[in-house]
Structure 1
Amino acid sequence: MKYKRFVLGAVAIIVALWIIVGEQMAGASADAFINARLVTVRSDVSGRIDMERRALGAKVGQGEVLASVTDPLVDIIRLNDLIMEGDFLLSELSRLTAYQTATQEILGKLEKRSAIFSRHRMEEITIMLDHARDRLALIELSGESEAESDAALESFGAPANALPAEPRIPGLALDHARERVAVLEVALSAAQAGVFLGGGYNDAPNAEQRAVEMRSEMAATNTSIADVEARQLAVASRIGRERQRVNGLTGGNIAAPVNGLLWEVLAADQERVERGDPVFRMVDCGSVMVSLSVSERIYNTLTIGQPAKFRPAGRNRIFDATVSRLAGAGAATIYRNLAVAPSPKHLERYDVTLLVAGIANDPDLSCAIGRTGRAFFERRPLDGVRGLF
């Protein structure tokens, strides 16, 4: 019985020593804390800044307006010149449109007068042709009657010149009558085709001649209107681009680029800022990581992508992690764009960065910047017991 107690005590001491030594000798970090990248929000334009008062560390959603910048002294001379050019083109278009309308009215009146002239001129030629045909028929009939009289006298045995001479129709008059009918027929045919002949030239009415000129003016005016409208479209496009540029220079809202925390305010309300000046610094909660330092012995056993464990202080849950960066000793420069800087003691050891995917899904740790804990790179004797709690 006495030996049994001695053996049990010895076993208990050995197990306790194994646990203590195993826990202490396991690869673990001296310190570990949740960290994240910083995002600097800058002003796009120069001007006066207006911002609401916000507590440092306040949660900010992506796209949320943080401040606005206004520059009342932005240069708009070019925009005003383009607007004036557009007004000139509008005035020119109004003038051409009015001229087109007036020309159209004059052309309508001239075409109406020309139609009246054409109708009456054709009636006139028709009347003249009818009378000319009647005269030609009378002349030809008179010539036939004289020939019949001479034949009757000769049948009675009397000479043709036995009676006193009566007026005879000269052959020249007959020929002239025939010529007149032929000329009028040609004139009527030409008039029906829209050409009025007079003395061997085109006897188009003055209204028709003016109408031809007006049609030419209308064509030129339509071309000018099309040209002005095309230039209006070009100027309108240039005005739109210039207005967009001026609006951009005039100012606007400064929105949060990421979901995160308001970490630092670098400008004051109503302060004048220049283009590119930093206004805010935010913590990007989408880039949460764990920073830690280890001894040289443990550091030399680590590799990129190696699995690890992270246990936040005050929490029983252990998160799976992965080694993402091995920065070594004196790695102060890599923290310039991170939310939490390392302590001098941290820099005396070897810096390691872990990616812990499960933290993003934990509402208490998703953006708990600065929260501490420990990281482990080897299995420890009590890992199985810790999993029960």
Structure 2
Amino acid sequence: MAALVIWLPVQRLFQTTSVEAIVNARTLTLRAPIDGVVSSAPASLAIGATFPAGTPLLHITNSRADRTRFDDLRRLEEHTEIEAAALKTRLDNIERMHSDFVAQTRLFQIGRIAQLEARIEESKSNLAASTTRQEETAAVLERALELDSKGFQPKALLEKVRRDDEIAKQDVRSIEQRIKGIAVELDSAKSGSFLGDSYNDRPRSSQRADELQQQVVELSAQLTEKQLMIRQLKKEIDVERDRLQLNSDAQVLAPSSSAVWELLTAPGEHVQRGQELMRLLDCNAALVTAVVSETVYNRLQIGSSASFRLRDGDVAMPGRVVNLTGVASATANYAIAPSSLRKEQYRVAVEVPDLANDGQGCHLGRTGQVIFANQSGAAITATAQ
């Protein structure tokens, strides 16, 4: 009896096997992306149902999504479009009026040039007549001077002839200067300025055309500004429409190929954003959780090679140690909490890829045997009880 009492603790010190090993899998928690009412997407949504990645599982609609910003932008866009249309109409009318005044100014310029050219021709004719008269008075003055030198010409008549000759010369000079002035007016008219037109150098139609041209420039700038504003508003409306769509309608998709583990909501229920909706069992990440003795635990490290054999099977599936929690709390997102393995305190997680690739699901909850290989090649066994 004394030997037995002493041997049991000593045997525990030399024990190299764990006492529990079980197939486990991580769970995925799906939360509500928006506030709204839940509706079931597939009719077959039930505990244990499997779905491939990307399958819509739940549909959430929120008829009370805040659309104030979207409506404000739409109203502002409509108001801006109305203003732009009014500016366009006004611009078209002013451009039409401007074209009419430009045409009127052009007709006035053509008529003014023709008038001045006619006046020049008239003045040239008058100049020719005055030149002839001046030549005639010059000849008369020459004869009068000759008669005066011989004493046959009265002094009064000589003075009259001289006066007539001087007047004829001044007439010629006056007509020549008038022709120069008309030529200046003609050159100005050809360039668009009209000298002698009351106190203005341009007619009223031309001045009005200039005023309308300034209005055309201003209205064109305002119209361009409105059009740029409309384009910017359209971009903001598209962004706000996408945001409104995200907040008013959302589908909850399966993140990976998985099975429904737990349903936390039902169709017709109103949920809050971030509220848990369901938990999925991710069989693609199947692994084995085991508890080992302190001696075995101290010999293990992350990445250590291991193999797993189901309790009723004879095929050893290769794996590796991915987590060593010891006496600390293990990860909480396991379908079977590692804390339920209570025969030892030191917990180990072993990744076994073949569990997810054998086409038979996760084998969740099945027990088996994990064999760890230490650095010296010796086998350390964890046996399910």
Which of 322, 341, 344 is 2:337 aligned to? 341
| Secondary structure of 2:274's aligned partner | coil
Contact 1:59 1:261 in 2 (8 A): yes
Scaled by the length of structure 1, the TM-score of the pair is: 0.83
Root mean square deviation, CA, Å: 2.7
Which of 60, 76, 81 is 1:90 aligned to? 81
Q: Which residue of 1 aligns with 2:221?
A: 223
Structure 1 distance, partners of 2:198, 2:100, is: 28
Q: Which residue of 1 aligns with 2:10?
A: none
Compare 164-173 and 199-208 and name the one that shifted more: 164-173
- The verdict on how the C-alpha distance between 1:247 and 1:163 changes in structure 2, with shifts beyond 3 A counting, is same
Would you say how many aligned residue pairs link Structure 1 and Structure 2? 355
Shift of 1:220: 0.3
Which of 24, 29, 33 is 2:22 aligned to? 33
For residue 313 of structure 1, what is the amino acid of its counterpart?
Answer: R
Structure 1 distance, partners of 2:340, 2:173, is: 136
Shift of 1:144: 0.4
Name structure 2 gaps, 5 residues minimum: 1-13
Contact 2:309 2:315 in 1 (8 A): yes
Q: Percent identity?
A: 26
Q: Which residue of 2 aligns with 1:81?
A: 72
Q: Which residue of 1 aligns with 2:359?
A: 363
- The verdict on how the C-alpha distance between 1:345 and 1:250 changes in structure 2, with shifts beyond 3 A counting, is closer
Which structure 1 residue ranges, 4+ long, deviate > 6 Å from structure 2?
Answer: 162-167
- The verdict on how the C-alpha distance between 1:100 and 1:344 changes in structure 2, with shifts beyond 3 A counting, is closer
Scaled by the length of structure 2, the TM-score of the pair is: 0.84
Structure 2 distance, partners of 1:236, 1:179, is: 69
CA deviations 1:223-252 (Å, max 9, x no partner) are 101111222222222222222222121121
For residue 38 of structure 1, what is the amino acid of its counterpart?
Answer: T
CA deviations 1:132-185 (Å, max 9, x no partner) are 111112111101012223434666757455997689362543333222111101
Q: Which residue of 1 aligns with 2:370?
A: 375
Q: How does 1:177-326 map to 2 (within 5 A)?
A: 177-198=175-196, 201-326=199-324
Structure 2 distance, partners of 1:188, 1:159, is: 52
Shift of 1:199: 6.3
For residue 38 of structure 2, what is the amino acid of its counterpart?
Answer: I
CA deviations 1:101-153 (Å, max 9, x no partner) are 00110011111101100001000000011101111121111010122234346
Q: Which residue of 1 aligns with 2:350?
A: 354
Structure 2 distance, partners of 1:104, 1:360, is: 77
Shift of 1:341: 2.5
Shift of 1:200: 8.3
Contact 2:39 2:58 in 1 (8 A): yes
Q: Which residue of 2 aligns with 1:143?
A: 134
Structure 2 distance, partners of 1:274, 1:76, is: 18
For residue 371 of structure 2, what is the amino acid of its counterpart?
Answer: F
Structure 1 distance, partners of 2:45, 2:227, is: 53
| Secondary structure of 2:330's aligned partner | helix
- The verdict on how the C-alpha distance between 1:211 and 1:347 changes in structure 2, with shifts beyond 3 A counting, is farther
Shift of 1:377: 2.4
Structure 2 distance, partners of 1:344, 1:44, is: 32
Contact 2:88 2:223 in 1 (8 A): yes
| Secondary structure of 1:84's aligned partner | helix
Contact 1:35 1:290 in 2 (8 A): yes
Shift of 1:271: 0.7
CA deviations 1:175-199 (Å, max 9, x no partner) are 3322211110111111122211006
Structure 1 distance, partners of 2:341, 2:88, is: 84
Shift of 1:290: 0.7
